[in-house]
Amino acid sequence: MRLDRNNYSVPAKWVGQTVSVRVTAFSLSIVAKGEIIAEHQRSVVRDEMVCNPWHYLAVLEKKPGALRHGVPFQAWNLPEPIQQVRKKRLQQDKGDRAFVDCLLLAKDVGIDAFEVACKLTLESGVVTGSIVLNDIRRLTEPDRPKVLSACHDLQLTTEPQASVEHYVLPTMQK
């Protein structure tokens, strides 16, 4: 979205759609279908691109390589543990895709849970996308009750006998 010679990002699904803008001296809100879809601090500099990287996740799903070189992601100010995981993942084969999968889940559960999951992953010493995703899910999903399939009323009818005879080799028997 362009205003006063500046470009402001909107979520990817709204690109090319009709939106309205509510402008104040310090901020602007972009509205579509009666809902605020994006908010930005208003830039006083001309010809600037004001991006929210979260708006581009749908693009990353199709082109995960944009994470390395895309303008919105170059100066993305993520918490330090997330930056460390990102750096390690991008050095690995298909690391772009794995980190994008983590970002997609983080958008739903929140950046705080993502940061904690990254800390846990870094502490484990093995940084993979599946470990980060597993840590995020463990942190955010409610504990599942453990269901026992056995009946609680089971009782022994014969007392077990302690015997080591079946462990003794045949050559050692008298």
Q: What is the DSSP letter of 56?
A: G
Q: pLDDT tens digits for 58-90? A: 889 899 888 888 888 888 889 999 999 999 988
Tokens of residue 110, six digits: 């929140």
The residue ranking higher by pLDDT, 143 or 94, is 94
CA–CA distance, 75 with 77 (Å, rounded to integer): 6
Rounded Cα distance between 22 and 80, Å, is: 34
Say how far apart CA 137 and CA 128 lie, in whole Å.
Answer: 14
pLDDT tens profile 13-56: 998 899 999 999 999 999 999 999 999 999 988 999 999 999 99
What pLDDT does 165 receive? Answer: 75
User: What is the reported pLDDT for 114?
Assistant: 92
118-156 as b/e: b if 16+ CB within 10 A: bbbbbeeeebbbebbbebbeeebeeeeeeeeeeeeeeee
Of 172, 59, 31, nearest to 8 by C-alpha is 31
The two tokens of residue 7 are 């470009």
